[in-house]
């Protein structure tokens, strides 16, 4: 099964590394620096993955002026929303190794996703691109293992959601982060495997596969669908409301919905189960629902007769 991004207008670049650095969605083809390698022996999607060799300073780039209209963090972008998903299998520890970036340390810092030795971090530019704020997830990406990384960042509201899947044990770890300064947008090149200047000391060493770039935020369910190769657009059952709450909709039954306060509520089919809700404090609460009491309806034109049992007094019976 393979992801289908063809109908998603939010996807602004798709690098499947099928023996090239071409963009499979738009026109954001990367310039190959120092002959980037590809491998069919170890990949996560399609027929190939790209194999960056740090010692050869291999990386790819595209100038800001040549990025497609609507590309996230392209010079002049006031919305500043970006989401990036990719597979990574590193081969050595670098401090830091740039993975996906639009980041020039010569006063043009926007955003960089890096692996600093083993730790996954984001560098968020501010102060007209002269400074950067570091978002440190504390998550270690080990050499020789495949991981899927999803980053969804809002540069105006200063929030970041990071979701990491470790293939060796299927463990998923997520982080909700905030940063202090609105993200700066500058005209640095868009790069994969290095930063703007291509400094060999900070090039990525190892494999990358299926790098996809959105100009909108992604939900956990969308990131997971991309990772599992089951993504298609639209995913109508997953939406984000204005209050920022994730809402899951199902076409089959409508048993999952969000109340007026923006909290997700799961309602059971059976009266004895009742419902499960999240209260205002963020705690999940299970509500049991007892069966309703039996009701006795009056009989029309009632007649009464007296009945006796041996050794007992007479008692009236409704007939």
Q: Which residues of 149-159 are buried (b: 16+ CB within 10 A; e: fewer)?
A: bbbbbbbeebe
Do residues 109 and 133 lie in contact, with contact meaning Cβ atoms separated by under 8 Å?
Answer: no
Do residues 231 and 221 lie in contact, with contact meaning Cβ atoms separated by under 8 Å?
Answer: no
What pLDDT digit, counting tens, does each position of 190-231 carry? Answer: 999 999 999 999 999 999 999 999 999 999 999 999 999 999
User: Given this model, what pLDDT does residue 290 score?
Assistant: 43
| 11-234 topology per CATH | Jelly Rolls (2.60.120)
User: Given this model, what pLDDT does residue 235 score?
Assistant: 81
User: Given this model, what pLDDT does residue 236 score?
Assistant: 60
Return d(Cα 194, Cα 54) in angstroms, integer: 9
| DSSP 8-state assignment for residue 55 | G
| DSSP 8-state assignment for residue 24 | S
User: Given this model, what pLDDT does residue 21 score?
Assistant: 98
- Helix (H) or strand (E) holding 222, with range, is helix 220-227
Return the structure tokens found at 211: 């790098």
User: Given this model, what pLDDT does residue 283 score?
Assistant: 40
What region does 204 belong to: left with phi over 0, alpha with psi -120 to 50, or beta? beta
Is residue 71 classed as helix, strand or coil in its secondary structure? Answer: coil
Return d(Cα 231, Cα 1) in angstroms, integer: 9
Nearest to 123 by CA among 15, 203, 195, 213: 195
The structural domains of the chain, with segments of one domain joined by +, span 11-234, 236-319
The reported pTM is 0.76
User: Given this model, what pLDDT does residue 260 score?
Assistant: 42
Return the structure tokens found at 261: 């306060």
Cβ partners under 8 Å of residue 239, min gap 6: 247, 249
User: Given this model, what pLDDT does residue 269 score?
Assistant: 34
User: Given this model, what pLDDT does residue 313 score?
Assistant: 66
Give the chain's residues under pLDDT 70.
1, 236-319
């Amino acid at each position: 099964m393979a992801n289908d991004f063809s109908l998603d207008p939010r996807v602004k670049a798709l690098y499947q590394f099928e023996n090239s650095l071409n963009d499979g969605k738009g026109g954001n083809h990367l310039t190959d620096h120092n002959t980037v390698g590809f491998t069919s022996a170890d990949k996560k999607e399609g027929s190939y993955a790209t194999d960056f060799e740090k010692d050869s300073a291999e990386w790819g780039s595209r100038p800001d002026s040549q990025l497609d209209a609507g590309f996230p963090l392209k010079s002049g972008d006031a919305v500043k929303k970006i989401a990036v998903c990719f597979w990574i299998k590193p081969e050595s520890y670098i401090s830091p190794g740039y993975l996906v970036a639009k980041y020039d340390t010569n006063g043009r810092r926007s955003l960089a996703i890096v692996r600093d030795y083993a730790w996954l971090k984001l560098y968020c530019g501010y102060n007209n691109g002269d400074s950067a704020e570091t978002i440190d997830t504390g998550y270690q990406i080990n050499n020789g293992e495949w991981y899927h990384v999803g980053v969804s960042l809002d540069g105006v509201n200063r929030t970041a959601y990071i979701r990491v899947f470790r293939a060796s044990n299927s463990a998923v770890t997520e982080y909700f982060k905030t940063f202090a300064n609105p993200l700066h947008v500058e005209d640095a090149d868009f790069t994969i495997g290095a930063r703007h200047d291509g400094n060999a000391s900070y090039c990525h060493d190892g494999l990358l596969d299926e790098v996809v770039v959105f100009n909108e935020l992604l939900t956990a369910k969308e990131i997971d669908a991309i990772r599992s190769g089951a993504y298609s657009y639209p995913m109508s059952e997953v939406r984000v409301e204005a209050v920022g709450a994730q809402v899951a909709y199902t076409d089959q039954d409508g048993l999952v919905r969000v109340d007026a306060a923006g909290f997700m509520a799961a309602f059971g089919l059976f009266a004895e189960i009742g419902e499960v809700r999240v209260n205002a404090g963020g705690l999940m609460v299970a509500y049991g629902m007892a069966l309703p009491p039996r009701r006795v309806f009056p009989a029309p034109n009632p007649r009464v007769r007296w009945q006796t049992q041996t050794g007992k007094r007479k008692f009236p019976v409704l007939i």
